[in-house]
Amino acid sequence: MARQKSQPTDRKQQDAAGLRGNRGTLYIVGTPIGSFDDLSIRALTILNRVPIIAAETPLATQALLAHHGVSATITSYGPGNLDEKITVLLHHLGQGHDIALVSDSGMPVVYDPGRILIASARQAGYPVTVIPGPSAMTAAVALSGYSGDCIVFEGRLPRTGRLLIGFLVPFRQRRETLVIFVPSKHCLLLLRALLRILPDRQVTLAIDMTKTSERLYQGTAASLLKQVRSFPKGTEVTVVVAGQTRNGVAAKRNGSRR
């Protein structure tokens, strides 16, 4: 079972740190976006090996580690008091302790404050490397069947209808596929804005990807508003909007539900 502490106590880990010349490595570790079994073999190896795991939400990470039988020291790096927490983590790296940086799901940095620790570690001269993993952004594009040649990602949208309309207007002429992480409580607001600004575009709602509750809805904003009346609290929604095609008409697909 994972331990949530701030100081590693294993003497062997401390001795090994000294042999490395007091230069710990920061590992950016991708974690599953839903099913815990999607954790890669290399990621599992690193999580088993490092003395410290810096987690966006320790309780979420503890569930993943418990599923895989990993025992580790977990500390939080967000969302509050980031400056203080990063100072502590850099101190651990300076003591030669390796650190695995994980997000609640997917890759740190994407919709996640991990970039600050990564930039700070690199600026301080510590080794930084990445263990690639799942990404809800690319997974949703793959599920949608829309073009992945050029993707625009928006993790945080305006929260009011007026600002949302202003945000979407430039996409009337853009050919990129738009991927948006949307809190479930704001999804209907986004669909109404899409109906007004991009009524002919094909839209995919990828819900709870890789979980047993996974669902996929596709169609125009108007058809989706008829299919989906509400989203339960805690639902994870990734919205994919097809880009404009060369002839000015967005590619159409038959609406489907899975």
Tens of pLDDT, residue by residue over 197-253, are: 999 999 999 999 999 999 999 999 999 999 988 888 888 999 999 999 866 544 444
pLDDT at 48 (0 to 100): 97
pLDDT at 113 (0 to 100): 85
Q: Torsions phi, psi of 6, nearest 5?
A: -120, -15
Listed residue (158, 171, 103, 110) closest to 137, CA to CA: 110
∠ at Cα 128 (39, 61), nearest 5°? 35
pLDDT at 255 (0 to 100): 43
pLDDT at 19 (0 to 100): 43
Mean pLDDT for 188-202 is 95
**Alpha-carbon gap, residue 100 to 91, rounded angstroms:** 14
**Alpha-carbon gap, residue 220 to 148, rounded angstroms:** 19
pLDDT at 124 (0 to 100): 95
Tens of pLDDT along 90-106?
999 999 999 999 999 99
Mean pLDDT for 51-72 is 94
Report domain 136-241's class: alpha beta
Question: The pTM is what?
Answer: 0.82
Neighbours of 18 (CB within 10 A): 10
Confidence of residue 58 (pLDDT cuts 50, 70, 90): very high
**Alpha-carbon gap, residue 199 to 172, rounded angstroms:** 10
What percentage of the chain reaches a pLDDT higher than 90? 69
Mean pLDDT for 57-82 is 91
Res. 16: pLDDT tops 50: no
**Alpha-carbon gap, residue 251 to 146, rounded angstroms:** 8
**One fold for both 3-131 and 136-241?**
no
Give the CA-trace dihedral at 40, 207, 78, 2, to 10 degrees: -50
Dihedral (CA of 211, 212, 216, 221) sign: negative
Give residue limits of the domains in the chain. Answer: 3-131, 136-241
**What residues are paired with 183 via a beta bridge?**
236
What percentage of the chain reaches a pLDDT higher than 70? 87
Tens of pLDDT along 157-176?
888 888 999 999 999 999 99
Listed residue (45, 107, 97, 44) closest to 75, CA to CA: 97
Task: Give Cα 5 distance to the centre of its chain.
Answer: 24
Tens of pLDDT along 24-42?
999 999 999 999 999 999 9
**Alpha-carbon gap, residue 240 to 177, rounded angstroms:** 7
CATH code given to domain 3-131: 3.40.1010.10
Confidence of residue 3 (pLDDT cuts 50, 70, 90): low
Listed residue (44, 49, 46) closest to 10, CA to CA: 49
Neighbours of 230 (CB within 10 A): 10
Q: Torsions phi, psi of 206, nearest 5?
A: -100, 115
Confidence of residue 11 (pLDDT cuts 50, 70, 90): very low
pLDDT at 232 (0 to 100): 83
Q: Which residues of 58-91 are buried (b: 16+ CB within 10 A; e: fewer)?
A: beebbebbeeeebebbbbbbbeeeeeebbeebbe
**Alpha-carbon gap, residue 176 to 162, rounded angstroms:** 23
Write down the H helix ranges in 124-169: 136-144, 161-168
Confidence of residue 112 (pLDDT cuts 50, 70, 90): confident
Contact (Cβ atoms closer than 8 angstroms) between residue 231 and residue 182: no
Amino acid at 102: V
pLDDT at 78 (0 to 100): 75
pLDDT at 201 (0 to 100): 97
